[in-house]
Amino acid sequence: MTKVLCIVGARPNFMKIAPIMRAFSRRAALRGVLVHTGQHYDANMSTAFFDDLGIPKPDINLGVGSGSHAAQTAAIMAAFEPVVLEQRPDLVLVVGDVNSTLACSVTAAKLLVPVAHVEAGLRSFDRTMPEEINRIVTDSVSDLLFTTSEDANRNLEREGIAPEKIHFVGNVMIDTLIQHVELAKRSDITRRLGLTGGYALVTLHRPSNVDEPQALQELLSAFAAIEQTIPIVFPIHPRTRKRIQEFGLDGRVAAMKQLKLVEPLGYLDFLHLMMGARVVLTDSGGIQEETTFLQVPCLTLRENTERPVTISHGTNRLVPLTAPAIAAAARQAMAETPNGAKRPPLWDGKAAERIADVLAQWGQRR
């Protein structure tokens, strides 16, 4: 039996690990041990997702909490090292690009434990993004690299990764979406929010958008224009709420009568809102993928994306970070009919099964 430590730390990781753990449970050759670093510790941002997605209770919780990038990464490494030494896994599996991904992959590599990276090869080519550094470093120390798109394969090959390490398996985020879409349809979140017609959906969390006063003011100006014609639902990240208060923008937010600020939502409620949105405005990578699969118009409030397949195959578009550009793009997106774009290859709900197959074969060859 191949023993795999499976690492989660933040909300995006939970949607990726859920189908992998299920695939492991169906294979006698694989034993998954779930380690939660505690990078996201708010109940609404962590526990609710475990409940919604049917993820088993973590076998190990490191409980590191928040901190600067350096402090948080160091805390995870210090807490994770003794776990690896005690558990003696055959493999450490990390997903995505958060600090937990970097910290646990480097720790495992230094202990000479093989590393598998799910969602490898994504590149924004913007090293001002902390996630880009996490992606590059994690891929460089990984022994098995599972990719979601063919452009990710090419990125890895350009960086000198041996082709035999790269496995194009599809997108585990879409596995989770497909499994839960019918349940999400039954959510009553629109009734609870008093929504009776069309609405826009917003998520913001990246430091480049919410930690810079000018950028955040520009975004709020865009929302003020959009909410004149359609309600906006904004599940607000704790840091974003804090920045609005720190920058003295509470009054501007309160003046937007059709801007509905709500606490972070569970997966099913959020998926329900995303399916019904006229347009989604986000700086999240995963939401670019989910809206592509659902064929919901998505405006990415960033200068670049590490997921170009969502533009070439999906409904996503990059929007300049100015209020007039964002408002105009939102109006255009809501006026258009779905373009019927084909979904990216292998985004079919079977990515986790492919990963499990590769790992079972890898374990036999050890």
Enzyme catalytic residues = 205
User: Which is it for the CA torsion 206, 211, 215, 216, positive or negative?
Assistant: positive
Buried-state track 129-168, b at ≥16 Cβ within 10 A, e below 16: bbbbebbebbbebbbbbbbbbebbbebbeeeebeeebbbb
Question: Among 260, 245, 266, which residue's Cα sits nearest to residue 42?
Answer: 266
- DSSP characters over 195-214: --S--EEEE---HHHHSSHH
State CA 348 to chain mean position distance: 18
Angle at 10 between CA 128 and CA 66, to 5 degrees: 75
Contact 62, 103 (CB under 8 A): no
- HSE, side-chain direction, 13 A CA sphere, residue 285: 25
Question: Among 195, 228, 177, 225, which residue's Cα sits nearest to residue 326?
Answer: 225
Token output for 140: 């460089």
